[in-house]
Structure 1
Amino acid sequence: MDLPFQLTKEKREEFIHLLQDYFFNERGESIGNLEAGFILDFIIKELSPTFYNIGIRDAHTFLNDKLEDLFELEKH
């Protein structure tokens, strides 16, 4: 599966454990590393691009607002 980005080994393991904890605490289900890894890959491939794009739009809006503030520094 071709993922849009790669996590460090440490971050991937952390997220796998978070998914395992979620399934256990919220659903009473124990899932293994392999299953949690598949879920994580699905989230990265299918869901993360949307959140990434939201971040890009938010950054664009923020930077545009700050650039507009520069015009307030003009000398008249």
Structure 2
Amino acid sequence: MTIEIPKDARKEAIASIERYFQENMEEKIGNIAAGALLGFFLEEIGPLVYNQGVADVQERLQARIMEVDIEVHEDPFTYWRKYERAAKGRAK
């Protein structure tokens, strides 16, 4: 699976890589090399990050699904209870 990012995001990522090299490394990196490095990271490490994101979403969704029964639960056989309550209220 290839991870694609929008053109604008790619430009910003390349600029960020160039800045990182300029401020933290002993040598600069050019635009083409930064683009190649970004491509490498997207292909090599991107799927790991993507898969972790999917796993995190699955975990959250499963937690929400486990709560659905609490949120939408309705007690069965309640028809007669409302009449019993009304009768008790009249008896007082």
- TM-score (normalised: structure 1): 0.89
Tell me how many residue pairs correspond in the alignment: 74
1:75 corresponds to: 74
Task: Report the CA distance between 1:5 and its aligned residue.
Answer: 2.4
Task: Give the corresponding residue for 1:29.
Answer: 27
Aligned counterpart, 2:53: 55
Gaps of 5+ in 2: 76-92
Shift of 1:28: 3.2
1:12 alignment partner in structure 2: 10
Counterpart of 2:74, as a letter, is K
Runs of 4+ aligned residues of structure 1 deviating over 2 Å after TM superposition are none
User: What's the secondary structure of 2:2's corresponding residue?
Assistant: coil
Distance in 2 between the 1:18 and 1:43 partners? Answer: 14
Q: C-alpha displacement at 1:10, in angstroms? A: 1.1
* Distance apart, 1:30 and its partner CA: 1.2
Find the aligned partners of 2:60 and 2:24 in 1 and give their Cα distance: 36
Shift of 1:14: 0.4
Q: Which amino acid aligns with 1:24?
A: Q
Q: Which amino acid is 1:75 matched to?
A: E
Greater CA radius of gyration, 1 or 2? Answer: 2
When normalised by structure 2's length, the TM-score is 0.75
Q: What are structure 1's unaligned runs of at least 5 residues? A: none
